[in-house]
Chain A
Amino acid sequence: MDISIENFLDEKIMGVDLEAETKDDAIQVLSKMLLNEGYINNIDDYKKDIYYRESLGTTGIGNYIAIPHGKSEGVYKNGIAIGKFKNEIPWETLDDKGVKIVCLFAVRDEEGGSDMHLKLLASIAGKLGNDNVVENLLNATSVIEMTNILS
């Protein structure tokens, strides 16, 4: 059975007005949400894989958006934690600006079996490449609003 982006996005792992000074703070805040809601079972394992992907190239795609991601054995359930932060966070980005919205992808390290989730993640990633969507996200003031924009 197909599920929609709206049903796939989980408002329990999304937040607005979050606080973080650094990239690591931001990843930690969102990783904790993923842990608390049962998406990942080990923050350290998960973060290690996220930072491995970070080492391969920049995940700051410009327009104040970052999409850190990676497949990890620390992931129990595929999902995407989305945080809108109060201030601009220093990040390696393609346009040399900082980052205000961090979309942290949690992807299980397995072959097949979760194609539907991966398709949904792919489709959300695509939306993050759309300037109008990004502009709306940057103006959003609640997680409900962010969900609607991405759905």
Chain B
Amino acid sequence: MNIVGIAACTAGIAHTYVAKEKLVNAAESAGHKIHIETQGTIGIQDPIPDEMLKVADIAIIAADVKVSGKDRFQGIKTVEIPTDVVIKSPNKFIKKIEEIARKGD
């Protein structure tokens, strides 16, 4: 599965990046391809490449604040979730989005 997403937290200093690491590790170990963009206090890092958006099966917004560029996910099934949930149980969350993506078939 191809997963794209955005991580963003309240202060934009720490949780954003913890969430990204957890998501990437959990998705990759489940055999998925994933690209997570971070929107923190430094601004946007690792913006989602267009070619990844084109092939995305599902989009994740792991955020506690408003994110920018949501419109890029138009036409892609999108799951919004607080960073805490992703940090707490990343593997469970990836399983859940696998189900959500499957339902769309």
Instruction: Please classify the interface of chain B as helix (H, G, I), strand (E, B), loop, or mixed, using the class held by over half of its residues.
Output: helix
Q: Does A123 contact B (CB under 8 A)?
A: yes
Scoring B residues 18 to 41 as 1 if CB is less than 8 Å from chain A, else 0, what string do you get?
111110010000000000001011
Q: Decide yes or no whether B88 CB sits under 8 A from chain A.
A: yes
B98 part of interface (Cβ distance < 8 Å):
no
Tell whether A53 is near chain B: CB-to-CB under 8 Å.
yes
Q: What is the size, in residues, of chain B's interface with A at 8 Å between Cβ atoms?
A: 22
| A residues near B40, Cβ cutoff 8 Å | 118, 122
Instruction: Tell which of A61, A67, A94, A107 has the most Cβ of chain B within 10 Å.
Output: A61
Q: What residue of chain A has the Cβ atom nearest to residue B14's Cβ?
A: A125
Indicate whether A127 reaches chain B with its CB closer than 8 angstroms: yes
- Which 9 pairs between the two chains have the least Cβ-Cβ distance? A129-B21, A129-B18, A125-B17, A126-B17, A94-B88, A125-B14, A118-B42, A126-B21, A122-B17
B residues contacting A by CB (< 8 A) are: 10-11, 13-22, 25, 38, 40-42, 45, 64, 84, 87-88
A-B CB contact pairs (8 Å), 28 listed: A56-B11, A58-B84, A61-B15, A61-B18, A61-B87, A67-B14, A67-B18, A70-B13, A95-B88, A107-B41, A118-B13, A118-B40, A118-B42, A119-B42, A121-B13, A121-B14, A122-B13, A122-B38, A123-B17, A125-B16, A125-B17, A125-B18, A126-B20, A126-B21, A128-B14, A129-B18, A129-B25, A130-B25
